[in-house]
Homo-oligomer: A and B are copies of this chain.
Amino acid sequence: MVSAVILVSGGLDSTTLLSIAIDQGYQCYALSFDYGQRHRVELDAATEISRLNGVVEHKIVSLNLNAFGGSALTDNSINVPTEITTGIPVTYVPARNTIFLSYALAWAEVLGCQDIFIGVNAVDYSGYPDCRPEYVDSFAAMANLATKSAVEGDKVKIHTPLIALTKGEIIKKGISLGVDYSKTISCYQANEKGEACGVCDSCRLRRQGFQQVEVSDPTRYELKTN
């Protein structure tokens, strides 16, 4: 079997991604990051999803992007917006996918594998620059000059099977592969119990996805008392 590194956050997209990689026959190594995100509870989801899918290994790497701040996800002084915004939102984390992919590249080289999967999406992508196809292509070109393995001929491929799908199409694909979306956490400010706020852009895009494909939404929402 061919091995691959899969970036698994514990959300809807990356859980679907993992099922796609498994369906394509890859032996999967799941990689998650504890980067000081508000919704740290997503890592519990990532651990459970990795276990349920029988990955070879699940690694959670601690980053500390709080050291830099600059995003509503890593800086508690910036609030998460409660509506879908236009342009690049304040939940954008500076260079996040570049850092994530760099670690995936390092692990892939140590494992001797050439395949990396990332669940970026350029349709419902909230305006993040590092979710676009031209960014991913450019990262792959750089990666193939960066490592000993690549220089010696083992070229790296960055797989982005979700990049051109709508949220609804991602959900349909996942359901066809048996994904249980009740285990996934997408909310940018999920509480400790893993309950979603229902109002951040990640929640809104996710909810719209279930509506698009007329699938009942299994997300556990936090009950607001005020």
Contacts and interface: CB of A to CB of B under 8 A. Distances in A.
Contact of A98 (B59, B138, B143, B152): B143
* A interface secondary structure, majority: helix
How many copies of this chain does one complex carry? 2
A145 B135 CA distance: 5
Interface in A69-108: 69-70, 88, 92-99, 102-103, 105-107
Interface in A114-140: 129-130, 132, 134-135, 138-139
B99 A95 contact: no
Interface string A195-225: 0000000000000000000000000000000
A181 to B, nearest CB: 29
B132 A97 contact: no
Contacts of A93: 106
